[in-house]
Amino acid sequence: MSGFYYVKSAKANIQCRARGLFRLEKNVPLVGDYVEYSDAGNNEGVITKIHPRRNKFVRPPLSNIDSMVIFASAAIPITDTYLIDRMIVIAEKSDCEPIICINKVDLNTADDLYAIYCKSGYKAVRISALTGEGLDDLINIITKKTCAFTGNSGVGKSSVLNAIDPDFNITVGDISKKLGRGRHTTRHVELFELKCKALVADTPGFSAFDTGHIAKKEELASLFRDFIPFLGKCRFLDCMHIKEPDCAIREALDNGNIQRSRYDSYLRLYKQEQDFKEWEHKTDA
C-alpha cells in the first residue's frame, strides 16, 4: 500500500494520508467513504474523520455502495446462474440493491435468464454495448448512485462503461489488467464518475468479492428475495428447506413460484456455509 488516499472535494482531488489513529482503531478509509480532512495546502491533506457507512466490503475495499450491478450474458461467455445468485446474496447481506444487467442481447436475448430474475423480484435490464439497446434503462437505474460493477470476465463491463460514457476512456479488456490480479500488494480500487453522475467501482470479476463466509446458513433463505413470501410457513420453524416434510419453499418450487436455478443456488450456498463451519471447527481444534 502506498498509504495515500485520494479525496474528491468540491475543488480538487486531494492526496491524503490517513490519521494514524485509524489503523489502531482498525478502521482504515475505504473507497466510497465520506470523509473530513485537514488541508495541508498543495492539494495534500490528512483524513481526520470517516463518516458512518451504509455498508462496507473488505475485499474489494469499498463502502457506501447503493447498487451492485451484476453483469451477465447468455452469449459467450455464458454466465453461471450460481455466480449471479451468490453475488445477489452478498449484495443483499450488505443492504445493497442488486441489479441484474444482461449484456450482449444482440447475440442472445437471454429470455430465460431475464425471466428468472424478474420473477424472483429483482431489477433486471437487457442491454447491448454493441447496439446501444437498453443502455438508457441502465443509466436511469444508476444515475446519482454509487455502484459496483461486477461480472465474469468478458461479459462486457468495460464495453458498457465506454458505451454509456464515451469520455470513459479505458481500452476494452484493460480494466481487469489495471485493477486485477497482476498487482498482489496494491489492490487498486477507484470510483469513476460517469456523466450521469453515477460513481462506478469497476471490480475485476465475481471472484473479486472473495468473501469466503457470506452469511450464516440459517440466514441464507432470507437473503433470497423470492423465498421471503414463504418463510415461516413450513411445518418446522427451523426448516432449512432441504428435505423436511411440508416445506413451503419446496412447495413453491414445485408450483413454479420459486425458480429451479434459484433453489439450486440456495442448496449450493447452504452446503458451502455448512462446510465452512466444519472447516472452521477443525482449525479451532
What crossing angle do the helices spanning 157-164 and 135-142 adopt, rounded to 10°?
80
Among 155, 164, 179, 239, the residue binding ligand GDP under the rule CB under 6 A is: 155
256 alpha-carbon distance from chain centroid: 27
24 vs 5, 20, 35, 37, 38, CA distance in Å? Answer: 17, 7, 18, 18, 19
Region of 56-64, 169-177, 259-267, 270-278 interacting with ligand GDP (CB under 6 A):
169-177
- Least Å from the CB of residue 100 to ligand GDP: 15
Cell numbers that stand for 3 in this block: 498509504
Measured from the CB atom, is 32 or 156 closer to ligand GDP?
A: 156
CA angle 16, 59, 6 (to 5 degrees): 15
- Least Å from the CB of residue 153 to ligand GDP: 4
Q: How far apart, in whole angstroms, are the C-alpha atoms of residue 228 and residue 82?
A: 19
Among 15, 27, 48, 153, the residue binding ligand GDP under the rule CB under 6 A is: 153
Is residue 150 within 8 A of residue 208, CB to CB? The reply is yes
Among 78, 130, 135, 139, the residue binding ligand GDP under the rule CB under 6 A is: 130
Residues 82-121, one symbol each (x = binds ligand GDP by CB under 6 A, - = not), give: ---------------------xx-xx--------------
Q: Name the closest residue to ligand GDP (Cβ).
A: 156
- Sequence letter at residue 83: L
Site residues (vs ligand GDP, CB under 6 A): 103-104, 106-107, 128-130, 151, 153-159, 172-173, 175-176
